[in-house]
Amino acid sequence: MWRFVARRLLHALPVLLGTTFLIYTLVFVLPGDPIQGLAGDKPVPPAVLAELHARYHLDDPLWTQYAHYLAGLLTGDLGTTFTGRDVSDLLADRWAVTLQLGLTAWVLELVLGMALGVWAGLRKGKWDDSAVLFGTTLIISVPVFVVGYLAQLVFGVRLGWLPVAGTEGGWPLAFLLPGLVLASFGLAYVARLTRSSLIENLRADYVRTAHSKGLSRRRVVVKHTLRNSLIPVVTFLGLELGGLMAGAIVTEYIFNLPGVGQQLFQSIQLREGPVVVGTTTALVLVFLLANLLVDLLYGLLDPRIRHD
Amino acid sequence: MSADTPPLLEVDDLCVEFRTRRGTIRAVNGLSYTLHEGETLALLGESGSGKSVAAQAVMGLLDTPPAHITRGSVRLRGEDLLSMPPEHRRAARGTRVSMIFQDALTALNPVLTVGDQLSEMFRVHRGEGRKAALARAVALMDRVRIPAAARRVHDYPHQFSGGMRQRVMIAMALALDPEVVIADEPTTALDVTVQAQIMRLLKQLQDETRMGLLLITHDLGVVAQAADRITVMYAGRTVESAGAEDLYTRPGHPYTRGLLDSVPRLDRMGKPLVPINGAPPLPSSVPTGCAFHPRCPRAEPRCGREAPPYHTLSTAGHRSACHFAEEVHRAPVG
């Protein structure tokens, strides 16, 4: 198994290199001068412009700029923003927020989504199954910002149960509501996926065998059906781990959380190459690790795809 | 056996229907058979004749809805299984009546080791500990002659060959020494040499345990080797039942005769094979009267109107549901 992990980590290197280069190029070809953009409408003295251009290598060709960036990256230096802050410091703060938000949402998806799915699957065709199906369809079809504002209004303003916005309450209080909003789509999807996978597996031959052995229904479901049903759910949840971090922009905006998404949006507007590339690279890294985790979990769930 | 001891397994006039949105399907339509201790009874029928559904009805594996048992009884040593409380019924599954399924690859759980699946029987029904149960699993695998059982007990089903997998399936069914074992097409998924091994194994195990074996199959070759008695099914109903020898030499139903004429046999070398015309009816549209009459070479108008009763023929225990049973029975085979 360790050989498999090592091989996968090696594979990750070219992917990381490729993505950083791609993002770097995209920022490079954006029109307009970033220094001028920083100053807005006010004219920038030519001497200052030249000095800043030289410091940030802005006049060098793409290859040279990228090489500078990579060299820095290897020594652990992610560069500085135009305002002089270390990108790594900036990202650390932002990532702390996004990680708390993303993981809260992920755990909600995992626990609530699977629980709802199993419940509905076992009660197929009954009223509560229909209720779950209806509810999840509704959540999937409503855009996240509508869910977000609605949740703020109901739980934050009217009921006053949870903070409306900001990180003041700290984890978990301040992250429960945004976490739930961020998780809503995935949660509904996990519930539906678990439900259909469970129903399909309950019809499998080996489940009939389990019944023929005289096992209780509980044992048939828990031991002989659930594990087999979770394989597609694990795939989705693994990808969600990355997706939730990257997809948190809207939620971070609604709940005013200073996370990576907000940062990324601002940096793109300001054309701050190092920040955009650094943020994206970190996101790619999260995705790659999540994928690796999924593959390892597969082997745990299904011996037929064990990596040895 | 004295006359007042009830037979091991007695199925009488069993009817099973599936009620779906598109209508009611009568899958089993008056099936009767009796299985005695130490005996092998073959339930012979084409696919779609309802034999698997009948077996699952006896095991209590059918989901209601859509399946409903509308008539008949299933008695295990005189005790009606169908009217038993569900918990008692469940306790009888695997311990008194167990089942061997056709395709062991799909019938065994792919994510659990065979040791886990075998020892589960002892842990659930006998309350044994993990270690003791696993030791019993190894002994079981030895008993069905799986080589290197102690090592292989930790393997998963996909790591076994088809024949070995079917042995695991058999071991599981025999784990708790059940009185009745129902084998639903146990060799259909295997190639011919392995088929023979598996049938021999079943026979040996039966001699050791005196279990009653209900062998469900469409394969006349398998039946000829293994069965003591044969019940032939057509469109969900018993059409003929007799001792194996008797049925092969003196069939009493045109359908049975048709089956025998359509397979190659050593004692009929050089003679052409005669197929049965047409296809078995869909369970949703079984013909009136005798269900076989549209395909029957002997059919007369009354066959389409009157369902034939059972005629008892000359030899002991030979019954046939045909208006012309006596004549068919008298006619020489071949």
β-partners of residue B257 are none
Count of CB pairs separated by less than 8 Å, A with B: 69
Indicate the residue of A206, A211, A227 with minimum beta-carbon distance to B61. A211
Q: What is the mean pLDDT of residues A260-264?
A: 85
Q: Is B97 exposed, middle or buried (0-12, 13-18, 19+ CB in 10 A)?
A: buried
Look at A164 and A191; give whichever has higher pLDDT: A191
Domain span at residue A34 reads 15-77
Same domain for A20 and A153: no
Last residue of a domain, one of A34, A58, A77: A77
Checking if the pLDDT of B1 tops 60, the result is no
Same domain for A266 and A142: yes
Same domain for A125 and A24: no
What CATH code is carried by the domain that includes residue A284?
Answer: 1.10.3720.10
Indicate the pLDDT class of residue B115, thresholds 50, 70 and 90: very high
Same domain for A131 and A176: yes
How many distinct helices (H) and strands (E) make up chain B? 12, 12
**Does residue A8 lie in a domain region?**
no
- Residues 160-219 of chain A with CB under 8 A from chain B are 204-206, 208-216, 219
| Residue A39 CA: distances (Å) to CA of A29, A33, B251 | 20, 10, 103
Same domain for A109 and A46: no
**CA gap A279, A295 in Å, rounded:** 25
Same domain for A153 and A62: no
Q: Does B20 touch chain A (CB under 8 A)?
A: no
Q: End-to-end CA distance of chain B, in Å?
A: 37
Closest by Cα among A49, A20, A45 to A274? A20
Q: Does A223 touch chain B (CB under 8 A)?
A: yes
Mean pLDDT of all residues in chain A? 84
Q: Which range, A3-17, A152-166, B262-276, has the best average confidence (pLDDT)? A: A3-17
**Does residue A295 lie in a domain region?**
yes
Same domain for A19 and A122: no
Write the pLDDT tens digit of every residue in B152-202: 999 999 999 888 898 899 999 988 889 999 999 888 877 888 888 888 888
Contact residues on chain B for A209, CB-CB shorter than 8 A: 101, 107-109, 172
Best A199, A200, A208, A209 member to test B by mutation, with max B CBs in 10 Å, is: A209
**CA gap B216, B51 in Å, rounded:** 7
β-partners of residue B234 are B237
Same domain for A109 and A24: no
B62-82 in b/e form (b: 16+ CB < 10 A) is beeeebebeebebbbeeeebe
Spell out the domains of chain B, with CATH numbers in brackets. Answer: 9-88+96-106+179-330 (3.40.50.300)
**Number of domains forming the structure of chain A:** 2
Checking if the pLDDT of A214 tops 80, the result is yes
Indicate the pLDDT class of residue B4, thresholds 50, 70 and 90: low
Minimum Cα–Cα distance from B171: chain A residue: A213
Provide the residue count of chain B.
334
Indicate the pLDDT class of residue B214, thresholds 50, 70 and 90: very high
Same domain for A148 and A247: yes
Helix (H, G, I), strand (E, B) or coil at B212: strand
What's the CA dihedral at A144, A150, A151, A153 to 10 degrees? 150
Q: pTM for this structure?
A: 0.80
Checking if the pLDDT of B3 tops 60, the result is no
Checking if the pLDDT of A91 tops 70, the result is yes
* ipTM of predicted assembly, 2 dp: 0.86
Provide the residue count of chain A.
308
In this predicted structure, what is the pLDDT of residue B334?
A: 57
Same domain for A94 and A63: no
Checking if the pLDDT of B2 tops 70, the result is no
DSSP letter at B297 equals T
Same domain for A68 and A21: yes
Give the count of beta carbons closer than 10 Å to the beta carbon of residue A144: 18
Mean pLDDT of all residues in chain B? 86
**Does residue A173 lie in a domain region?**
yes
Write the pLDDT tens digit of every residue in A11-34: 888 888 888 888 888 877 777 777
Same domain for A293 and A227: yes
Contact residues on chain A for B91, CB-CB shorter than 8 A: 214
**Does residue A281 lie in a domain region?**
yes
**Does residue A3 lie in a domain region?**
no
Closest by Cα among B276, B308, B292 to B236? B292
- Residues 38-97 of chain B with CB under 8 A from chain A are 56, 59, 61, 90-95
Give the list of residues 6+ apart from residue B101 with CB closer than 8 angstroms, or none. Answer: A205, A208, A209, A212, B107, B169, B184, B186
Closest by Cα among B187, B154, B150, B156 to B170? B187
Write the pLDDT tens digit of every residue in B225-263: 788 899 999 988 889 998 888 888 888 888 988 888 888
In this predicted structure, what is the pLDDT of residue A308?
A: 56
Checking if the pLDDT of A145 tops 70, the result is yes
In this predicted structure, what is the pLDDT of residue B333?
A: 67
In this predicted structure, what is the pLDDT of residue A110?
A: 93
